[in-house]
Copies of this chain bind each other. A is one copy, B any other.
Amino acid sequence: MKIRRIGIDTSPDNTAFLLRTGNGYSPEQFQALRKIEIGDGSVTILATLALVDDTGLLGKGEIGLGEQAFRRLGLPEGTKVSFRQAPVPHSLEHVRRKIDGDSLDDNDIREIIEDIAAFRYSPMEIGAFLVACASFMTTQETLALTRAMADAGRRMQWAADIVVDKHCIGGIPGNRTSMIVVPIIAAHGLTMPKTSSRAITSPSGTADTMEVLASVDLAEDKLIAVVEQEHAVLAWGGRVNLSPADDILITVERPLRIDTFEQMVASILSKKIAAGSTHLVVDIPIGPTAKVRSQREAIRLRKLFEYVGHKLGLVLDVVFTDGTQPIGRGIGPVLEARDVMAVLRNDADAPADLRERSVTLAGRILEFDPALVGGRGYARAMELLGSGQALAAMERLIDAQGRRKEVLKPGEFHHEICAPHEGVVTMIDCHVIARIARLAGAPMDKGAGIDLLRKVGERVRADEPLYRIHAHSEDGLGYASELALATSGYLVTP
């Protein structure tokens, strides 16, 4: 069969096309061929087979590849390939045993993760593995999963002995501490190659917000060069193939909303190990609308992070932080970048909570430096920020990554949501605020989002604005305002 490229895109799925008749296959055989393996001996991909009745699309002796399959196989049109029914991955037997209640050993889990990283599992099969793990997982299994995920892709190497990183488990809008912590650490001279994700369900990820100021989509050479020059980077992690199994698992975890502590630990630590980190601060915000809702839960999660991290040779410091409300004022890329730069510039009106949180976390990281062990990190972080050295480091980092030429502005369509009566703000619901910001258009529309004008503990008069929604379109503003008017996310207690 010769490859023919078909202008149909079914990403993220691979699709192959074959004429229904004249190939020597019976309808029954096509049933078995629904999932096929295609290759030329050197490379192979798995694809779902679609049957074509229209001979305009495809000739005899040709196998069509949709855009996604064509890209992934990477062979030119006309290449001779063969195909066969996709073999069932042997490791599915382990998944079946896990479903039946068995615990899996290191090798079982390694085989499963290798098959997933090689795209040999369907979403249904990945879902089965994840749900079986979500119902019960031993610490040994969590450790094995983390190690297998870290090993499944490439691993970055750095010249420095100490390579630090920080990670927040997420869930708190506006929590853009990394963009302040990284320049502080870089100014001190520790190596901190921070790769971040884009937002998947939140109004902005660190990569989305950094992109307001500089390019974050760095090729690997470029990323390494920036780190060598500046000790740090604030880049999107999608370009470097770190823990690829994690990226695949996430595509199934998100729609099924599987978010157990075990999978969280494996996901975060596998990425950090693959990124070459040796020392890591993990930020766990605790609050009624955060991912972790009590000290008790937080301690259980910390122990799991510590157990797995230490077994894998990571020096780990887990910090509990206040997760009762959003951090800073802006929610959404442009508004968050504004807050970050205000803190770095030591502006008088910079959000105090974002500054305090960032300095605390930076301080904990700095104490990985043997010279600062034992509580001297906070003062050093404050010094680096207050003196403008952190701002200078940030400006160098922006230039090294590639400064964005135009200055992005908050969305020109805006609407204020006001207090229903006089009182004190006693709660801000992180989920609701995040949903409103996303409806306004964040993170795709960089300037869309929310500007919080009042935070928890502040007094408001009746009809005084609580926050302002920004959008780049009337539609976005409409959707967001509609939800905000139904559920503002604020509790104002008279």
Which chain A residues have a beta carbon within 8 Å of chain B's beta carbons?
Answer: 6-10, 13, 15, 17, 20, 26, 28, 48, 50-54, 56-57, 66-67, 88, 92, 95-96, 99-101, 122-128, 130-132, 134-136, 252, 255-258, 444
Q: How far is the CB of A466 from chain B (nearest CB, A)?
A: 29
CB atoms of A135 and B101 under 8 A apart? yes
| With A101-B135, A131-B128: A8-B66 Cβ-Cβ less than 8 Å | no
Chain B residues whose CB sits within 8 angstroms of the CB of A50 once the complex forms: 8-10, 15, 66
A190 to B484, CA, bound (A): 66
Q: Please tell me which one of the listed residues B56, B66, B124 contacts residue A127 in the complex, with CB atoms under 8 A apart.
A: B124
Chain B residues whose CB sits within 8 angstroms of the CB of A52 once the complex forms: 7-9
| With A127-B127, A135-B135: A54-B10 Cβ-Cβ less than 8 Å | no
A423 to B13, CA, bound (A): 55
* 8 pairs, A vs B, C-beta closer than 8 Å: A7-B52, A7-B53, A7-B57, A8-B51, A10-B50, A13-B48, A95-B256, A99-B134
- Most B CB within 10 A of own CB, among A20, A26, A124, A258: A124
Chain B residues whose CB sits within 8 angstroms of the CB of A136 once the complex forms: 135
Instruction: Tell me the nearest residue of chain B to A257, going by C-beta.
Output: B96
| With A7-B52, A15-B50, A131-B131: A255-B99 Cβ-Cβ less than 8 Å | no
CB atoms of A124 and B8 under 8 A apart? no
Chain B residues whose CB sits within 8 angstroms of the CB of A92 once the complex forms: 256
CB atoms of A9 and B15 under 8 A apart? no
Can you list the 7 inter-chain pairs with the closest CB atoms, starting with the nearest?
A7-B53, A7-B54, A123-B124, A131-B131, A9-B51, A135-B135, A124-B127
Chain B residues whose CB sits within 8 angstroms of the CB of A54 once the complex forms: 6-8
A51 to B96, CA, bound (A): 35
Chain B residues whose CB sits within 8 angstroms of the CB of A96 once the complex forms: 256-257
CB atoms of A125 and B125 under 8 A apart? no
A49 to B191, CA, bound (A): 44
| With A124-B124, A127-B125: A135-B252 Cβ-Cβ less than 8 Å | no
A52 to B128, CA, bound (A): 32
Q: How far is the CB of A199 from chain B (nearest CB, A)?
A: 12
Chain B residues whose CB sits within 8 angstroms of the CB of A95 once the complex forms: 256
Q: How far is the CB of A204 from chain B (nearest CB, A)?
A: 14
Instruction: Tell me the nearest residue of chain B to A251, going by C-beta.
Output: B124
CB atoms of B20 and A99 under 8 A apart? no
A92 to B67, CA, bound (A): 32
Instruction: Tell me the nearest residue of chain B to A136, going by C-beta.
Output: B135
Q: How far is the CB of A415 from chain B (nearest CB, A)?
A: 23
A48 to B123, CA, bound (A): 14
Chain B residues whose CB sits within 8 angstroms of the CB of A20 once the complex forms: 9
A96 to B353, CA, bound (A): 34
Chain B residues whose CB sits within 8 angstroms of the CB of A7 once the complex forms: 52-54, 57
